[in-house]
């Protein structure tokens, strides 16, 4: 009679020579395997007709987690190749034409159409420089007269929420970034969360203090792991008012050079030491639950558009909108949160091409029709007033998102910018030759199929 099935590895834990690797393959004659510590369960289906001495057939379990995540972030080389497909208007070197210029911009996850007059920003910069000179002269005159420098002016308005303009700027910047340095090491992405203790106002009374804490953590990371921290971060607020920061990064493997700790252990200790709550009990609790490391959320970031959608999704969900409301303790002028988002050691990878007005208008129309075909909607609140009683109420509704409506100018976020421009170039210049079979360039390995342009 056959004995009970052996543990994973072919031997029980108490026998000599037992392996400590839970993902190690079972030894010959070891019987059915047990659970494997992997994102995909390694237990195979039970087959009553199979002999216990034989391993039943079933799905293979990957040895590593590399096959669980297939990123599709276009490289700067693909962006350059896509920009070369656009019908550019070449100018004489050293000369800049006056008047508006039609420009097409392509990035890893963005396509933009703009008509700009570059003389206007130059004039604005000259006026700002002249105003700055006047302010410096007035400060020097006050120092000569009184012997002390005047106090810097306080902000005129208080920041109470995340502005709509800042949201749009964040989405555009995240679609323009080059993410290849972030994933060049082959490490899996994770969502790192930094929180504050229950008595948070004692250690972070203003937004400037929070930024100093993040800067100190960034310096400690460089010393401990021998590399710069590359990430995208976003500031939010809990219901109790405490701030917390979400960071999309690729945590390092192994142990720190300075302490020999793993990243999760090092992060908890370092963040608790940086915040340094004076109460020992608050500090102990913060050390145990002040950080979080979520790989499941990080694996959802597979292309630039999805990264931008994750960091802006709370703005599209009414249930999470409270996380963008600044607490009253930070609403006074000079104590606000500052920027709600930022980027560490990641740079833009966009290319701008000047085109003729005809090609610019044609490209804008194609992008506008594509955006309309996506049928994106957003939640809105409609104001309703009862004429008899004068009672005001709001009705929840959904409206279609309208993009590229400023005379076919604007920008759209796409999953694969080079692939989008390849299809758009066929509509702008139908006679443009293509190198290689159709659809083979510049698609990114693992990229989702794009919707054909109308």
pLDDT of residue 42: 37
Which structure tokens are listed for 97?
């034409």
CA-based torsion, 252, 258, 261, 266: positive or negative: negative
Q: What is the pLDDT of residues 185-194, one digit of tens each?
A: 888 899 999 9
Q: What is the pLDDT of residues 388-419, one digit of tens each?
A: 888 888 888 888 888 888 888 899 999 999 99
pLDDT at 51 over 90: no
**Measured over all CA atoms, what is the biggest interatomic distance in the chain, rounded to whole angstroms?**
104
Instruction: Name every residue whose Cβ is closer than 8 Å to that of residue 353 and which is 6 or more positions away in sequence.
Output: 83, 86, 88, 103, 104, 105, 106
pLDDT of residue 301: 87
Residue range 424-430: mean pLDDT, rounded: 80
pLDDT at 437 over 50: no
The DSSP output letter for 177 is B
pLDDT of residue 320: 73
Question: Please, which pLDDT band fits residue 7 given cuts at 50, 70 and 90?
Answer: very low
Which structure tokens are listed for 195?
């929180």
pLDDT of residue 5: 42
CB 435 within 8 A of CB 422: no
Distance CA 111, CA 172 (A): 10
pLDDT of residue 73: 92
pLDDT at 58 over 70: no
Distance CA 415, CA 299 (A): 16
pLDDT at 26 over 50: no
The DSSP output letter for 384 is E
pLDDT of residue 351: 95
What does pLDDT average to over the chain?
79
CB 341 within 8 A of CB 165: no
Question: Please, which pLDDT band fits residue 336 given cuts at 50, 70 and 90?
Answer: confident
Tally of CA atoms within 13 A in the half-sphere of 136 that contains its CB: 6
Query: Read out DSSP for 16-82?
Result: TT----TTSPPPTT--S----SSSS--PPPP-TTS-TTSPPP-PPPPSSSGGG-------HHHHHHH
pLDDT at 443 over 80: no
Alpha-helix residue ranges (DSSP H) falling in 184-318: 207-225, 263-275, 280-289, 295-298, 304-316
Q: Which residue has the higher pLDDT, 135 or 90?
A: 135
Percent of the chain with pLDDT over 90: 43
pLDDT of residue 24: 43
Q: Which residue has the higher pLDDT, 119 or 40?
A: 119
What pTM did the predictor assign? Answer: 0.73
CB 234 within 8 A of CB 241: no
């Amino acid at each position: 009679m056959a004995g009970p099935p052996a543990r994973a590895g072919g031997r029980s834990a108490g026998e000599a020579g037992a392996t400590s690797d839970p993902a190690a393959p079972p030894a010959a004659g070891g019987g059915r395997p047990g659970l494997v510590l992997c994102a995909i369960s390694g237990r195979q289906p039970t087959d009553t007709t199979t002999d216990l001495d034989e391993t039943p057939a079933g799905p293979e379990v990957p040895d590593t987690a590399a096959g669980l995540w297939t990123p599709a972030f276009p490289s700067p080389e693909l962006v350059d190749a896509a920009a070369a497909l656009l019908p550019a208007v070449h100018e004489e070197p050293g000369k800049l034409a006056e008047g508006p210029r039609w420009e097409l911009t392509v990035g890893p996850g963005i396509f933009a159409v703009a008509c700009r007059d570059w003389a206007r920003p130059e004039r604005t910069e000259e006026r700002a420089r002249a105003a700055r000179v006047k302010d410096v002269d007035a400060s020097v005159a006050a120092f000569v007269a009184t012997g002390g420098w005047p106090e810097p002016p306080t902000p005129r308005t208080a920041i109470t929420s995340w502005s709509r303009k800042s949201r749009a700027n964040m989405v555009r910047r995240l679609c323009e970034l080059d993410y290849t340095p972030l994933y060049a090491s082959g490490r899996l992405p994770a969502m790192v969360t930094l929180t504050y203790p229950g008595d948070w106002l004692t250690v972070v009374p203003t937004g400037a203090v929070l930024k100093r804490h993040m800067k100190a953590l960034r310096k400690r990371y460089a010393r401990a792991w021998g590399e710069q921290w590359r990430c995208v971060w976003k500031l939010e607020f809990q219901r109790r008012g405490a701030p917390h920061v979400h960071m999309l990064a690729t945590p390092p493997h192994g142990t720190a050079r300075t302490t020999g700790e793993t990243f999760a252990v090092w992060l908890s200790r370092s963040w608790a030491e940086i915040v340094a709550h004076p109460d020992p009990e608050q500090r102990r609790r913060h050390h145990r639950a002040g950080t979080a490391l979520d790989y499941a959320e990080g694996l959802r970031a597979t292309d630039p558009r999805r990264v931008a959608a994750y960091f802006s999704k709370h703005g599209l969900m009414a249930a999470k909108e409270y996380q963008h409301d600044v607490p009253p303790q930070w609403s006074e002028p000079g104590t606000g949160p500052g920027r709600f988002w930022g980027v560490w050691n990641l740079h833009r990878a966009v290319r701008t091409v000047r085109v003729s007005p005809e090609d610019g208008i044609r490209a804008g129309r194609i992008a506008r029709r594509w955006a309309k075909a996506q049928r994106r909607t957003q939640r809105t609140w409609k104001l309703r007033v009862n004429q008899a009683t004068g009672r005001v109420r709001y009705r929840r509704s959904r409206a279609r998102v309208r993009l590229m409506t400023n005379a076919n100018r604007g920008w759209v976020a796409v999953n694969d910018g080079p692939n989008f421009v390849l299809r758009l170039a066929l509509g702008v210049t139908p006679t443009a030759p293509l190198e290689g079979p159709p659809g083979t360039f510049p698609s990114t390995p693992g990229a989702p199929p794009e919707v054909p342009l109308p």
